[in-house]
Structure 1
């Protein structure tokens, strides 16, 4: 199996957010959840639990965003 970008999904108290996803993206997220679970759908994390670490990972690896944040910091 290839190395996935998500490795650990933290269990924190959530803030409620309602979003609509295209069905195609929802299917891809279900497939990704199964991949995170070693290929098995049973016991895989829910789509809702995948979204936060995916967004966090995206932000953490976005070089342009990090550069902009550093430039905006005083000092």
Structure 2
């Protein structure tokens, strides 16, 4: 059988992570969820927004990407 173009999909099993945050951060996250709802016209729970926010943050950190890229092995 010949190779197909689509590579094997990565592990997509969710990992549950429990954290404690300070009240100020909790309020800011609630405020962000309210701004998101106002902007997009649909409400999303903070717990659903946080993974997307963390992903966006990590993807925008160029220094981290360079550091991580230098540590990857093939």
Task: Tell me the C-alpha RMSD between the 2 structures.
Answer: 2.7
Partner of 2:55: 56
Greater helix proportion? 2
Can you list the C-alpha shifts for 1:39-74, whole angstroms capped at 9, x where unaligned? 6xxx52111111101110111000111111222234
Residues paired across the two proteins, number: 63
Change in Cα spacing, 1:28 to 1:13, as seen in structure 2 (3 Å) is: farther
Q: Structure 1 residue 16: deviation in Å?
A: 2.0
Instruction: Point out the structure with max Rg over C-alpha.
Output: 2
| Higher RCO (CA 8 Å, separation ≥ 6 residues) | 1
Query: Which consecutive residues of structure 2, in runs of 5 or more, have no partner in the other structure?
Result: 1-11
Query: Which consecutive residues of structure 1, in runs of 5 or more, have no partner in the other structure?
Result: 1-11
